[in-house]
Structure 1
Amino acid sequence: MKLRFLFSLLLGATLAASAQGGYQDGVDNYNAGRPDVAKAILTNTLNDAGTDKAVSYFYLGSIAFDEGNLAEAKNNFDKGVANNAQYPYNYIGQGEVALKNGNKGEAERMFKQAMDLNKKNTAVMIGVARAYFNVNPTAYAKDIDKLIAKALKESKNTEAAVYVLQGDMQAKTDPGEAAGKYEMAIVQDQGKNKVNREAYVKYANTYFHVNPKFAIDKLVELNDLEPNSALAQRELAEKYYANDQFGSACLQYGKYVANPNHFPSDEARYAGLLYSAGEYNKSIEWADKILASDPNNFYMYRVIMLDKSALKDWAGAEEAGKNLFSHPDAQLIANDYVLYADALSQMNKADEAVAIYEKAIELNPDKADLLPKLSAVYDRAGQNEKAVEIYKKYLDMGNGTTNDLFSMARRYQGLARSLEKDTPERAEAAKEGLKYIDMAIAKVNDNGFLYATKGQLLLTLNNDKPDAAMAQAYEDMLKCFDADPSKKADRASYYTAAYYLLGAYYTDVDKAKAIQYFNDYLTLHPDDEAVKQMVASLSE
């Protein structure tokens, strides 16, 4: 089972407290559209020796602005100016806040102050244009266009920031055109021997839903240019995952977590990805490693339960489920209940499994496929009436494959056999089972197992006395099974029952047939003296 939502289940894990790449990792993550990660990094590296605080304050202010927290945004921009009055972008941030507050005059004054620091800096011009775009792209369209035109003219069309902004302006409405702009930004910076990580990532994010291969190829190119970039490695891994290329995603994420600049929180995502890629044992190794340093990481108990369930290590799955469900901070989801109940059921802890399945159904009343699981637990626990009741509810909801109908018939067979012979209740249960097995046969008329179950139900209905209807069902079974003689050994128990019961039925109807079937039985059980005596008696 590949869980598309698995990564989202891991996002609640605490963000990394720091990044070995320093504040620049925060900048890159902001530009890559990961503001939460960026904020954590920028905040926790703010006082590092190598941090350019003016830059960090600008991006922290930008994150606050994007969140709608203008007071916090202004506070960060003010700190940035106080830290380095020659860094222009915090003035742009102050102007952006003023513009958002309706004070265009104050905004223009701050924008001018930023551009006056270096009148030929076309990237700063585009920073101002972006501020106008962030506040209201429609109301300030003329201001934006004017600044873009000026930046293009003065840079002789080489300012990459222009094309990134233009791409952002078109990303939602025309991803193809936006990708073209990001490509232009990449090309212009390549001419200056620069790698524009922001443009590469935005190209991939924007164009992925149009052409996943092109988007992935662009990130492969970025990885080739910057093979040690944690950002490049992570972005490529995530795109592989989103494109269902789980093997490639797993390999790429492995490279990423081996990078000293990876975030510890992403190790949890890697453990989850290993599960999705079918690398269950390796996933368990990583989950155990994470729990060794972070024993309160309940997400890892979830991953281990998934892995152990996939490996059919039910004892291990039960233990992981117990750890998850007993964790005081665990944020349980419906699938947790299903997996834990499955494990309990497989460990023959029926009462506990029933309680957990019922909770899963309560959380997912429309998830009909949980009902057969609950029915199966009741069946294994010998609670035949309850097993039938739950399965009937499942089928009455309009569900029902051939296998479901077959399972329902077997439930009724189990119920009928548990009731006293010669009782109306036993007969009614057998008749209900026959109704469902006939429905299954109507769908698939060449399945010997269906006819075998029909024969069992007819025998039960007739209080274990073979009759013509039962004989016909078993002969239909033999006809189906005999079409594939290579599997006769695997189906020996079915042949044994059919030969014996058909011999018993035909004893009073057709002695020659009875002898034939008993002899067929003896080919499987040559030492059965009682049957040998019956054959001898019939042959007299």
Structure 2
Amino acid sequence: MKKLKIFSIALFVFGTATYAQDLDQAKKAIDAEQYEKAKKILKGLVATKPESGKNYFILGNLYLTQKLQDSATITYQKGLAAKAEADFNYIGLGQIDLENGNAAGASSNFDKAVANIKKKDFEELMYIGKAYLNPTKPDYKKALEYLNKAKAVQPMNAEVSLYLGDAYYGDKNINEAYSAYRNAADADKNLLRASLQQGAITKSAKAFTEAKAIFDKILAANPNYGPAYRELAETYYVWGLNDKAKYTEYNTTAIQYYEKYMAMTDYSLDSRMRHADFLVLTKDYKALEAEATAMQKLDKVNPRILRYLGYSAYQNGNSDAAIKALDEFLAKPNVKMIGRDYLYLGLAKTQKALTMGTDAEGKPTGTVDKVLFDNGVADIKKGVELDPGMANELNDFGKKFFDLKLYKEASAIYEIAVTNPNSRNFLYDNFYLGYALYFDNAKAEKPNVTDIQKANAAFDAVIKSSPTTQDAYIYKARLNSLLMDDMAARAEMAKYYEEYIRVVTEKGETELAKPANKTKFVEAYNNIAIHYAKLGDKVKARENVDKALAINPADETALSTQKMIKG
């Protein structure tokens, strides 16, 4: 009997150790972003150790990571019936409350989770702190409150320090975040996530060489740690944005590292989604279309796949497929729409409207389908309203219409682009807005006064941003010359012709000697002369005519104005 008792105790200890090891393996798989592997381990633990509530809790958390809230809820509710550690599942349910905006419900569930904890218990406090970090709208202050309580109980725990780093980082306290991550790495050399986050902070400071060294060191310790490859990919991507000369090279390297990251994961739908997001960033739309098609075979109902199909179809020149996919995506209930969704839908519609205005050989006829175009513009506007950064992507698209002399359509695109004063193309978009409105009204039988006002404002914005952009002055003058019967507009015309002359003159003899500027000077002097002649000021009129004739003695407009003044 004594031997049997010893054997039973040994078996119990062995079983407990195996269980702990399995749970540890599941956590390591989650950390390595191998979610399907982790899910398989955790489902096995739930089946073989149903008395442990923590198994359900960790599995529920994994479902939440994968945005599977219904599965998470069911798992937490089952976990509440477990004999041991069931209260952890209240934390999971509280996290779902936070995601759904139910702060009171979350607080109630968290209170239940800690109602029976002992003095040395810290995990419940730690996981509540982490729960405040995970929702779409994190509460970093609350997270810090609970994590610091956990730290007071277990000051040297690596996991507590790791999550403290996450909370400080989210709260924009970079120094404390870095210190917490360093403490976590010192406490547990195998906790590679802590070092990874130190590298992420270094990358965000644009210290790309130093960040790369940190990620390389992690991979030297564990060549199979996938997240380090992902961070290297993202480092090279941002590095390329900051080093235009090496953009193509670094972008290619970024994609290669991301492929290595994918090879280290289990190609789950979640990792494929992250891959697709990265392909959008790096503009590899051929690969995005292939990835989206592969994901659709795995999951025909996930709406995000339609987003990727829509994006890639538009970028790969298939407007019809883009419109179909994005219309279907946006019609799905409860999807979280972003600016790019509407931007690409609008661009696809306006592109199709342009394509419809072509002849049998595919050459532009100078017309577009107005209804479809206007519908597309409304979508583009909605996209920029949701995310003003989308205005950065309209410059080249507007130029496509401008180059086809579809000035009204081009101005509609640029009018949306200039709503974001922080756009990197703000100056050029304003210039082309004014430019397009001028040309559209120059060919009109009767200029549109509202268009003239918009164009004036656009050229004013260019002049404010870049006072030496001489063409902004002359086009503002030409714009107002379209309203010659309006004395105020004519005065603006004369003023900006004079400003154009001043700006060019201040640039020196080299600029003055250019033939194009000499021609424009003659134009300016002639129009200023006509303005003063209509005012009855023959002295100033004659003065400007003489300046025009000094440049080109045979200019017909100057000679005609000269005769009018003498008459």
- Going from structure 1 to structure 2, the CA distance change for 1:42 and 1:459 (only over 3 Å counts) comes to closer
Q: Distance in 2 between matches of 1:435 and 1:47?
A: 63
> Deviation digits for residues 365-409 of structure 1, max 9, x if unmatched?
58678899799799987769x96997899599xxx9655664564
Q: Name the counterpart of 2:378.
A: 358
Q: Name the counterpart of 2:282.
A: 277
Q: Name the counterpart of 1:62.
A: 57
Q: Distance in 2 between matches of 1:503 and 1:96?
A: 84
SS in 2 for 1:270: helix
- Going from structure 1 to structure 2, the CA distance change for 1:517 and 1:279 (only over 3 Å counts) comes to farther
Conserved? CA contact 2:339–2:390, under 8 Å: no
Aligned: 1:224 with 2:242: no
Q: Letter of the aligned partner of 2:378 in structure 1?
A: E
Q: Letter of the aligned partner of 1:182 in structure 2?
A: A
Q: Distance in 2 between matches of 1:435 and 1:166?
A: 55
> Which range is displaced more, 360-369 or 442-451?
360-369
Conserved? CA contact 2:312–2:322, under 8 Å: no
Conserved? CA contact 1:267–1:286, under 8 Å: yes
- Going from structure 1 to structure 2, the CA distance change for 1:390 and 1:486 (only over 3 Å counts) comes to closer
Query: Paired residue for 1:252, among 257, 263, 284?
Result: 257
Aligned: 1:27 with 2:19: no
Aligned: 1:448 with 2:470: yes
> Deviation digits for residues 17-48 of structure 1, max 9, x if unmatched?
xxxxx99864324457x7xx75x655556677
Aligned: 1:183 with 2:178: no
Q: Name the counterpart of 2:563.
A: none
Which structure 1 residue ranges, 5 or more long, are not aligned? 1-21, 79-90, 109-125, 149-161, 188-195, 522-529, 535-540
- Going from structure 1 to structure 2, the CA distance change for 1:268 and 1:365 (only over 3 Å counts) comes to closer
Query: Paired residue for 1:413, among 428, 438, 444?
Result: 438
Q: Letter of the aligned partner of 2:476 in structure 1?
A: K
- Going from structure 1 to structure 2, the CA distance change for 1:255 and 1:460 (only over 3 Å counts) comes to same
Residue 336 of structure 1 and its aligned partner are, at CA, apart by 1.4
- Going from structure 1 to structure 2, the CA distance change for 1:291 and 1:240 (only over 3 Å counts) comes to same
- Going from structure 1 to structure 2, the CA distance change for 1:130 and 1:512 (only over 3 Å counts) comes to closer
For residues 464-479 of structure 1, the aligned pairs below 5 Å read 472=498
SS in 2 for 1:326: helix
Residue 349 of structure 1 and its aligned partner are, at CA, apart by 4.5
Residue 453 of structure 1 and its aligned partner are, at CA, apart by 0.9
Q: Letter of the aligned partner of 1:342 in structure 2?
A: L
Q: Name the counterpart of 1:326.
A: 328
How large is the RMSD of aligned CA atoms in angstroms?
6.2
- Going from structure 1 to structure 2, the CA distance change for 1:440 and 1:235 (only over 3 Å counts) comes to closer
- Going from structure 1 to structure 2, the CA distance change for 1:357 and 1:449 (only over 3 Å counts) comes to same
Residue 200 of structure 1 and its aligned partner are, at CA, apart by 1.6
Superposition TM-score, scaled by structure 1 size? 0.54
Aligned: 1:344 with 2:372: no
Q: Letter of the aligned partner of 1:61 in structure 2?
A: Y
Q: Name the counterpart of 1:233.
A: 226
Which structure 2 residue ranges, 5 or more long, are not aligned? 1-21, 62-71, 91-111, 129-145, 169-175, 241-249, 355-367, 531-540, 561-567
- Going from structure 1 to structure 2, the CA distance change for 1:341 and 1:71 (only over 3 Å counts) comes to closer
Count how many residue pairs are aligned between Structure 1 and Structure 2. Answer: 423
Residue 222 of structure 1 and its aligned partner are, at CA, apart by 3.6
Conserved? CA contact 1:361–1:370, under 8 Å: no
Residue 254 of structure 1 and its aligned partner are, at CA, apart by 1.0
Q: Distance in 1 between matches of 2:294 and 2:79?
A: 39
For residues 73-92 of structure 1, the aligned pairs below 5 Å read 73-75=79-81
Greater C-alpha Rg = 1
Conserved? CA contact 2:276–2:291, under 8 Å: yes
Q: Name the counterpart of 1:164.
A: 158
Identity between Structure 1 and Structure 2 (%): 11
Query: Paired residue for 1:517, among 552, 562, 565?
Result: 552
- Going from structure 1 to structure 2, the CA distance change for 1:462 and 1:95 (only over 3 Å counts) comes to closer
For residues 454-493 of structure 1, the aligned pairs below 5 Å read 454-462=476-484, 472=498
Q: Letter of the aligned partner of 1:273 in structure 2?
A: F
Q: Name the counterpart of 2:69.
A: none
Q: Distance in 2 between matches of 1:51 and 1:428?
A: 69
Conserved? CA contact 1:455–1:473, under 8 Å: no
Q: Name the counterpart of 1:113.
A: none
Residue 455 of structure 1 and its aligned partner are, at CA, apart by 3.9
- Going from structure 1 to structure 2, the CA distance change for 1:294 and 1:429 (only over 3 Å counts) comes to closer
Q: Letter of the aligned partner of 1:344 in structure 2?
A: K
Residue 234 of structure 1 and its aligned partner are, at CA, apart by 2.6
Residue 237 of structure 1 and its aligned partner are, at CA, apart by 1.0
Conserved? CA contact 2:161–2:183, under 8 Å: yes
Q: Name the counterpart of 1:316.
A: 318
Superposition TM-score, scaled by structure 2 size? 0.52
